[in-house]
Amino acid sequence: MRLVIARCTVDYSGRLKAHLPEATRLIMVKADGTLAIHSDGNASKPLNWMIAPNVLETHEDRWEVSNSKGEKLTIWIDEVLEDVTHELGEDPGLVKDGVEAHLQELLAATPETLEEGLTLIRREYQTDIGPVDLLCADSAGATVAVEIKRRGEIDGVEQLSRYIERLNNDSRLAPVRGIFAAQSIAPQARVMAEARGVQAIEVDYDGLREAQDTELRLFDLGAH
């Protein structure tokens, strides 16, 4: 990973136009080519970014990042304060907390809870940027990517959107749509999900767990 702290101005053109006036920012370039620009605030969300695959061209006064969709990000470099590169090695992936992991397990067992006719293809389906929680098929046979969180925030919708983009590159799966499932979903995340064409669903974790426990008790009674 390359980390550059620089005074810079940023211009984006593509689906819309955006401009960041000159300021000191962190430019992060990941091993897969994904580039993100961060300020010292705004929590973990970047000010602007270009996910892989893309083409990065560096010039003395600017960086230009473009992709096949016609999007272009130009970073005008006024002064580089620090430029370091670190090899992070292979990442073992996210270890979910108990509730989130169990919620994924419950929904994998009963995907129809999210949508009538939904069936599981595979849990933790691997993409080149990480695993999507559930890969499913709807009643018409279309592919559905499901991302599961305990609390649904904007970054979860962003994560699912990136997975969908990568999955749609596979002609065997495309077109792929998304379901963002969580115990509770923040209003901002709902707005972003709607804008990205993703269905946001709040899940009753306690109800699912109780239903599973009841089913197991009935199975035990039947076994005797």
Residue 51 within any structural domain of the chain: yes
Query: What are the start-end ranges of the H helices in 8-122?
Result: 98-109
> How far is residue 20 from each of residues 12, 16, 69, 126, 210, measured CA to CA in Å?
9, 14, 21, 35, 50
Say what the pLDDT of residue 218 is: 42
Tell whether 92 is covered by a domain: no
pLDDT digit string, tens, across residues 112-136: 999 999 999 999 999 988 899 999 9
Q: Are residues 131 and 210 in the same domain?
A: yes
The verdict on residue 154 lying in a domain is: yes
Q: Which domain holds residue 22?
A: 2-85
| Residue 26's CATH number | 2.70.180.20
Q: Are residues 209 and 104 in the same domain?
A: yes
Based on the domain organization, do 213 and 102 belong to the same domain? yes
Give yes or no: residues 104 and 68 share one domain. no
**114 and 190: one domain?**
yes
Residue 153 has pLDDT above 50, yes or no: yes
Report the number of distinct structural domains present in the chain. Answer: 2
pTM over 0.75: no
Residues 39 and 149 in one domain: no
Sign of CA dihedral 110, 132, 171, 14: positive
What is the residue whose two structure tokens read 């006064």?
61
**pLDDT reported for residue 217:** 44
Q: Is residue 222 part of a domain?
A: no
Answer with the one of 85, 106, 139 that is the final residue of a domain: 85
Residue 16 has pLDDT above 80, yes or no: yes
DSSP state of 197: T
How does DSSP classify residue 129? T
First-to-last C-alpha distance (Å) of the chain: 58
Q: Kindly report, residue by residue over 182-192, the tens digit of the pLDDT.
A: 999 999 999 99
Residues 111, 20: one domain?
no
One domain, residues 50 and 112: no
**For 159-169, how does the pLDDT look when each residue is reduced to its tens digit (9 = 90+)?**
999 999 999 99
Q: Are residues 34 and 75 in the same domain?
A: yes
Domain assignment of residue 134, yes or no? yes
User: Residue 191 belongs to what H/E stretch?
Assistant: helix 187-195
Helices 154-167 and 187-195 pack at an angle, to 10 degrees, of: 20
Asked if the model's pLDDT at residue 137 lies above 70, the reply is yes
Domain boundary residue, one of 85, 120, 141? 85
Residues in Cβ contact with 87 at an 8 Å cutoff, skipping those fewer than 6 apart? 1
How far apart CA 54 and CA 33 sit, in angstroms, is 7
pLDDT digit string, tens, across residues 27-57: 999 988 899 999 987 656 788 988 888 999 9
pLDDT of residue 46: 87
Q: What pLDDT, in 10s, does the model give residues 196-213? A: 999 999 998 888 877 665
Radius of gyration of the chain (CA): 21
Alpha-carbon span 115 to 207, nearest angstrom: 16
Answer with the one of 29, 58, 85 that is the final residue of a domain: 85
Q: Cβ atoms within 10 A of the Cβ of 100, count? A: 19
> How far, in Å, are 130, 182, 195 from residue 192 at the CA level?
21, 15, 5
